[in-house]
Amino acid sequence: MKEVFVVAINGSPNMDGNTAFLLEQVLQAAAEAGAKTKLLHSMEMLEGQEKPYCDVCSSPCNESCYEDTALEKAFEMMTKADALVLGSPVYFGTVSAQLKAIFDKSRAVRGRKGLAGKIGAAVSVGASRFGGQETTVRALHDIMMVHGMAVVSDSSISATLGHHGVCAQKPARDDADAIKSARVIGVRLVEESTK
């Protein structure tokens, strides 16, 4: 069996917060299932960007805005991955500006079909139990589907039947259901990547 490479992207500006914690749970379960893993933080990915957003300065994208930056290296790593898990806190019912900026700048990656066919999953954390987690997960799914990725949920025949992905209430460390879902997703990313 080939070694699976799973990359997680923390869309939160907090590199040690609730979203990062749950992404670490996903990666830990994936590693236990035999995968190589890496956690990328959006704030580090966007370092060195003159404009931390896309203004469509060229069409098709010539990648000049992130050439020789951390974002270019992150995109290279993402295209080498077998599976991605995207995580974001809920900001006004959707993904963080940081995560949105990264994927707005990924037009050239999409043009090369760099993420097409990869397995993807979503993690979201809100301040209240019904604080926009599902709409945020849906936005994360949309991002992945625009790239041609195959999205998996936190439902598993062997573990549990979940829903769309990890929907947690902060503090995530106290949300046992979210931790369980994160671990299910970690295993599913590996299983689906080896089919």
> Which CATH number belongs to the domain containing residue 136 in this structure?
3.40.50.360
Say whether pLDDT at 161 is over 80.
no
The residue ranking higher by pLDDT, 153 or 85, is 85
Residue pLDDT, tens place only, 85-125: 999 999 999 999 999 999 999 999 999 999 999 999 999 99
Residue pLDDT, tens place only, 44-55: 999 988 888 888
Distance CA 149, CA 143 (A): 9
Number of domains in the chain: 1
Question: pTM for the whole thing?
Answer: 0.94
Q: Do residues 81 and 6 lie in contact, with contact meaning Cβ atoms separated by under 8 Å?
A: yes
Element (H, E) at 28: helix 18-32
The three-class DSSP label of residue 122 is strand
Q: In terms of Cα–Cα distance, which of 105, 55, 96, 97 is closest to 78? A: 105
Residue pLDDT, tens place only, 59-79: 888 888 899 999 999 999 999
What's residue 154's pLDDT?
A: 77
Say whether pLDDT at 153 is over 90.
no
* Domain range for 93: 5-193
